Chains A and B, each alone.
Chain A
Amino acid sequence: MSQAAAATLDRSTSGFGVYNLKLGMWVFLLSEVMFFTGLIGAYIILRFANPEQFAEPGVVLNVPLTALNTFILICSSVSMVKAFAEIERGNQKGLRMWLLVTIALGIVFLSIQAYEYSLLAHEGFVPVADAYAAIGRHGGETIVGGPLYGATFYTMTGFHGAHVTIGVLCLMFTAFKAFRGGYSAQNVGGVEIMGLYWHFVDLVWIILFTIVYLI
């Protein structure tokens, strides 16, 4: 199949009024919704069934640090949507700049998450421990919990972190293509699809932050 024919196939509209690549990304994202629902559902049932294994918000997990990380991911969503808006106007320079900003913010998010993990591990909060003892930040009391807390926490945030990592790698590819002039006002599909994935990752974190860190 020639490149022109492939482009026609990719951008032809489906019965849902959007082009096929976009429809495909939406369907993929909806499968991801079910994936994360499974994880969150498991967390809820385990927490209800074993409340003694879970600490109150802010006792073990560092809420201010993670709130900052949430803000950074929200900022990366703005930069991603600005990249899309710029290429819709045909502004190549703007596209490249905002894509680089998004990549930088994604890397900062992952770095802070890695730093958070290292702090938690230092306090003994690891996914495989039968019991952990962490020094609480409020009053310095010793917190004793169970393995379910660590297992569910690292599973949910770890899978999300993996999604962010994949997103950053895909963003790098998109930026590479952008620097080679691969997008134009008439060809914005790749940037839009990349944006859909990135915003979804942000959306999932918004839910996870509330359920894991605040409730």
Chain B
Amino acid sequence: MEGHTHSSPPAASGTSSATTPAPETSHKAPNYYLVWLFLAVLTVAEVGVAFLSAIPKQVLVIALILMAVWKALLVALYYMHLKFEPRRLWLIVAAPLPLAIILVAVVLLEQW
């Protein structure tokens, strides 16, 4: 863990701080370098897996998508600090995901 705390959201500056107190959500900052290491290793693993001819194509596609989602989650949770945000914000973030899945699924169904 890094040696400082991260407060979100920040308090207002100057005279306005007295009128807009920020909710207290202090937490230890995550180890950003460890997350970076995970992302780098996963990227190398992705490239390696992509060129493994021994793996059936369907398995390979699923493995690659899972690794990409894993990397995306690491970025969202730790670099975008979503893990430390109020749960109410998660609702907003999650809102378009079912819509995105529906969009792609409907397009695919139309093809088949």
Q: Chain A residues in contact with chain B, CB under 8 A?
A: 4, 7-8, 11-13, 15-19, 22-23, 26-27, 30-31, 33-34, 37-38, 40-42, 44-45, 48-49, 57-58, 63-64, 67, 70-71, 74-75, 77-78, 80-82, 85, 88-89, 184, 186-189, 192, 195-196, 199-200, 202-203, 206-207, 209-211, 214-215
- Verify B108–A207 contact, CB threshold 8 A: no
Q: Which of B83-100 touch A at CB < 8 Å?
A: 85-86, 88-89, 91-93, 95-97, 99-100
| Cα-based distance from A27 to B60 in the complex (angstroms) | 34
Which chain B positions have C-beta within 8 A of A89? 4
Knowing A57-B51, A77-B75, A203-B72 are in contact, say whether A15-B15 is a contact too (CB < 8 A). no
Question: If the complex has contacts A26-B93, A210-B68, are A18 and B85 also in contact, measured as CB distance less than 8 A?
Answer: yes
Chain A neighbourhood of B64, CB < 8 A:
210, 214-215
CA distance A77 to B46 in the complex (A): 19
CB distance from A208 to the nearest CB of B (A): 9
Known: A45-B108, A215-B65. 10 other contacts (CB 8 A): A8-B12, A8-B19, A33-B100, A34-B96, A34-B103, A37-B100, A71-B40, A89-B4, A206-B72, A209-B68
Q: Is the interface of A mostly helix, strand, loop or mixed?
A: helix
**Contact, CB under 8 Å: B68 / A206:** yes
- Set of chain B residues within 8 Å of A12, measured between Cβ atoms: 12, 20
List B contacts of A202 (CB < 8 A).
75, 79
Residue of B nearest to A183 (CB): B13
Main SS class of interface, B: helix
Q: Which residue of A lies closest to B5 (CB)?
A: A88
Choose among A18, A34, A42 the residue with the greatest number of B CB atoms under 10 Å from its CB. A18
User: Is B36 in contact with A75, judged by CB distance below 8 angstroms?
Assistant: yes
B7 touches A88 (CB 8 A): yes
Cross-chain contact of A74 among B10, B43, B89 (Cβ < 8 A): B43
B107 proximity list for chain A (CB < 8 A): 41-42, 44-45
- Is A189 in contact with B8, judged by CB distance below 8 angstroms? no
Q: Which A residues lie within 8 Å of B44 (CB)?
A: 67
Q: Indicate whether B56 reaches chain A with its CB closer than 8 angstroms.
A: no
Which B residues touch A210, using CB under 8 A?
46, 64-65, 67-68
- Report the minimum CB–CB distance from B70 to chain A (whole Å): 9
B40: chain A residues at CB < 8 Å are 71, 74
- What is the bound-complex CA distance between A45 and B2, given in angstroms? 44
Contact, CB under 8 Å: B51 / A17: no
Partner of A78, one of B33, B93, B97: B33
Which of B14, B91, B103 interacts with A4 by CB under 8 Å?
Answer: B14
- Complex CA gap A15/B16 in Å reads 19
